[in-house]
Amino acid sequence: MKPFMLTPGTLTLADLRSIFKNHTTYQLELNPESFSAINAATKTVVNIISEKKTVYGINTGFGLLASTRIADEDLQLLQKSLVLSHSTGVGQLLDDEVVALVMLLKVNSLSRGYSGIRLEVIQLLIQLFNQRVYPCIPAKGSVGASGDLAPLAHMSCALIGESNVRYQGKVRPAAEVLAELNLKPISLGPKEGLALLNGTNVSTALALKGLFLAENNFMAALVAGALSVDAAMGSSAPFDPRIQEVRGHRGQIEVAKIYRELLTGSEIRLSHEHCDRVQDPYSLRCQPQVMGACLDQMRYTASIMLIEANAVSDNPLVFSDSGDILSGGNFHAEPIALCSDTLATSMCEVGSISERRTALLLDSNLSTLPAFLVNNSGVNSGFMIAQVTAAALVSENKSLAHPSSVDSIPTSANQEDHVSMATYGARRLTDIAENVTAIIAIECLSAAQGIELRKPMKTSSLLDDVIAIIRNKIPFYEKDRFFADDINNMQAIIVDGDFSKLVMNAMSDDIF
């Protein structure tokens, strides 16, 4: 097990990426330096009650019932009732990897000392994380303001011994699993239920998952694009650094460098260095411009997600230095909604240009390769319908990429009259990413086939290594066979990250 000392508010993308991919190997520990801030905020809440003040979220109702004063003897019941009544999620359960991120982000936020929640509540959430006890959180039911109320209520149920958890791969009652692990359910004190339920942690965790999947797809798409350039006997002139530098976009400059590295030493490229083709189609020639723009947008969205991952996003907030408890709107997930929409369109573009390269390779008039990349075409259909699958996924992604942030629907009797829809916006990134993985897989298969049809000419040594990785799992397409297995196996290669490692090795710095 890897110990991870969490200093609240200091998570990095590398931390988040590693914990997302390897959450079962980490043991989370809270930096003791954070304890004083947590305890000070809790004391401020206690003082409010002892002084008989009325403060939203501590001794009032919620939403439209914010003006209703709650008696001191009912404050614990108020918090438990809040958690149970807000557990209204529907749909499939979130994956363990996402739930682990949600728990980490919630601990990170609460531990900054502005939430008025006791240290023992935070420590119980950490214990659940470390014991691999994942609250069952339905995926649907949040509008992304006031925070991810329903999904975070389901997370919080585990702390009070209610509802179900997933433990060792099985869904079981939370109370039963807690007892088995000698953990006691906690009774929530004033404000604690609200602190747990308020926040953008679910939206942010889902967006981070989408980002990490997009990063892997992006690097695989660079490899696929380079393969396609050689398979189509395309020119490397569009990757010349001078072209990129006079425009000035960082992503474009760096992407072109990667293509140059991947194609260096290709016999295929050298064989047509002085051919009479004037220009390649845009899907080959404009890869630095398209992929570079996507990279720039991905980096921007990553920066917003990182800020939100370290943010305090519940309400109201406790400022113990002054004794003030302020009600605001940090639970509104508009930053995540907007950057999820940006990431969605960037991911779709990566898939769109990939499918166009596949279509180019299959067209013998453009590629000069056998029609549909198979000998004896007519008897063999070759890659014909694989490209149809890619086209179908590209079109499906167009619908999925419709901005969710432009939608809003009032809730809570119009008290909460503008919402972000960030939770859906972030959740649908996984669907887009899975489609893009399949699109890139089909291009990889097509381009590898095209390069091998160019023999005895050879591609570059780096791309030859790529083809070897592919051929280790998927043989050359001699004649028609059951094709779905090839696509599935190619997707698995992409997901495993071998191509990402290859691109990282071609760069002197971390691309993300």
Which residues belong to the active site?
A: 56
Cα(335)–Cα(191) distance, rounded to whole angstroms? Answer: 25
Name the residue among 5, 4, 6, 2 with its Cα closest to residue 108.
Answer: 6
Reported as type and span, the H/E element at residue 344 is helix 334-362
Instruction: State how far the Cα of 320 lies from the Cα of 312, in Å rounded to an integer.
Output: 15
Residues with Cβ < 8 Å from 337, sequence gap 6 or more? Answer: 144, 203, 404, 405, 420, 421, 422, 425, 426
Neighbours of 88 (CB within 10 A): 15
| Whether the Cβ atoms of residue 76 and residue 151 lie closer than 8 Å to each other | no
Task: Give CA–CA dist 445/457, Å, rounded.
Answer: 18
CA distance 292 to 41: 45
* Cβ 129 vs Cβ 107: under 8 Å: yes
Amino acid identity, position 204? T
Number of neighbouring beta carbons within 10 Å of residue 60: 15
Q: Which tokens sit at 187?
A: 């009774």
Question: Residue 479 in contact with residue 380, Cβ under 8 Å?
Answer: yes
Residue linked to tokens 């972000």:
420
Distances (CA, A) of 382 to 32, 391, 421, 483: 62, 16, 43, 9
DSSP E strand boundaries for 390-504: none
Bridge partners, residue 60, by sequence:
69
Q: How open is the CA angle 104-195-339, to the nearest 5 degrees? A: 60
Q: What is the distance in angstroms between the CA of the first residue and the CA of the last residue of the chain? A: 26
